[in-house]
Amino acid sequence: MTFKIIETGSSGNGFLYGDLMIDAGLPYSKLKDYATPYVLLTHCHGDHFNSDTIRALAINHDVTFYALPYLCEKIARIGIKSYVEIEAGKVYQIGDYKVSPVIAYHDVENVGFRIMHGNIKHFHITDTSTLEGITARNYTSASIECNHCEVEALKLIEEAKESGEFTHLIGTMNSHLSVQKAIEFVKENSIKKLTPIHIGASTSKQVLAAIKSYQSSVGD
């Protein structure tokens, strides 16, 4: 079972894990060749929830959407009937997979997912400021937001303050996960493989360096 990034970042997100698509925040033209029977949706922001794409997936493919109640209301309003409301902490049988949503800490209601397929376990989360209270002990793999480098972001924020300039990084640090927190979570939970997702542009060089250093340390 492999995790595939179709595309990730602030311009749009779409992922595959076996027969599961996670998020539909890209144009339909980029997702149509990857259409699966099941689509898990995390939250309402446009880079994860593209209404036109979701409508096109429903029209052109036999798809069921799994999402929080407020997202299901949005899905219903665009004329889609094939959806299932989900709740954090519960376990859902979706095809051959068991999926359990977990609360993510963003500026809107958001969830990540624990996904089980036989003995294989995968953890997916993005757009969250913290992973406190969440566990994924000894999971086979994880796809986790590594949005920014804390050290470099704080440096850039300080420079912006000194020059009287605006920086979006303050908001970013309050609503997105740093690479440091992602790596710490993977280490604490003894997760075998990390796939970084949703890397922001402002500190991408430092994020990639941190990931490379971590992967070298574990021989990944």
pTM: 0.95
Give me the pLDDT at residue 1, please.
Answer: 72
25 within 8 A of 1, measured Cβ to Cβ? no
Q: What values do phi and psi take at 96, rounded to 5?
A: -90, 10
Of the given ranges (170-174, 198-202, 205-209), which has the lowest mean pLDDT?
170-174
What is the DSSP code (8-state) at residue 174?
H
Q: Which two tokens stand for residue 150?
A: 């804390």
Q: What is the mean pLDDT of the chain?
A: 96
103 within 8 A of 97, measured Cβ to Cβ? no
pLDDT band at 39 (very low <50, low <70, confident <90, very high): very high
51 within 8 A of 74, measured Cβ to Cβ? yes
Q: Which two tokens stand for residue 88?
A: 């954090």
Res 220 pLDDT > 90: no
Q: What values do phi and psi take at 95, rounded to 5?
A: 60, -125
**What is the distance in angstroms between the CA of the first residue and the CA of the last residue of the chain?**
17
pLDDT digits 0-9 by tens, 82-102:
999 999 999 999 999 999 999
Which residues are CB-neighbours of 165 under 8 A, at least 6 positions away?
A: none
The stretch 205-219 carries a mean pLDDT of 93
Give me the pLDDT at residue 69, please.
Answer: 98
Res 48 pLDDT > 90: yes
Give me the pLDDT at residue 2, please.
Answer: 86
Of the given ranges (38-52, 85-99, 164-178), which has the lowest mean pLDDT?
164-178
Q: Which is it for the CA torsion 26, 32, 36, 38, positive or negative?
A: positive
What type of residue sits at position 198?
H
Domain CATH number, residue 208 = 3.60.15.10
The DSSP bridge pattern shows strands 97-105 and 92-94 to be antiparallel
Res 219 pLDDT > 90: no
Give me the pLDDT at residue 90, please.
Answer: 98
**DSSP of 31-98, one letter per residue?**
HGGG--SEEE---SSTTTB-HHHHHHHHHHS--EEEE-HHHHHHHHHTT---EEE--TT--EEETTEE
Number of domains in the chain: 1
pLDDT digits 0-9 by tens, 119-165:
999 999 999 999 999 999 999 999 999 999 999 999 999 999 999 98
Range of the domain at 53: 3-218
pLDDT band at 166 (very low <50, low <70, confident <90, very high): confident
Res 190 pLDDT > 80: yes
Give me the pLDDT at residue 131, please.
Answer: 98
